[in-house]
Structure 1
């Protein structure tokens, strides 16, 4: 492939999509933790922009290490002003725990959500 290397250094990015409203979720607080055994160490924190993404990668390319991570999305405050959402939030914090084993590729871990459900996948 032109302009790409076979083993581009990995990084970590995310974005949040609000399928209840049919748009990117702006203003969602996202925390990233590194997990080792029973210990969690916060790596960074960000807030999603108008495109539902963080302004910078959560971990820059070439800095991602193998191991277990958690992304914590603060969804209850985001849906607090949404008329169709329940008055008492069904979802508060959405925590995604995942393992990075191969750092030769980029990790993109999005959250697709409504006030009542969510899904995720590993993108590139």
Structure 2
């Protein structure tokens, strides 16, 4: 009986230690998803700032499409601020996907600008 109780106690301690180690080792999926969305938003904002300068250098004071993208980014950040605590992981992943897609589109546009500057089709 004492041996069984001791084995159960050791199993409980081992389980608790494993759970504590696992919790310390990795962050919660929701926290990771929110961090990834914020990182993607920061990366997009940095590229938009660069793009704004490059587009203004080529197009002058004409309407710059970067302004609309900056407004959309601000809307995403405000949504995240207001809904991150309640958003599902799928919603957070969707927001991150849209930010990544916007950054990819921006990279393509900047590539076209570079080619136009260089006189290449």
- TM-score of the aligned structures, taking structure 2 as reference length: 0.29
Q: TM-score, normalised by structure 1?
A: 0.29
Larger radius of gyration: 2
Structure that is richer in helix per residue: 2
Q: Answer 1 or 2: which has greater strand percent.
A: 1
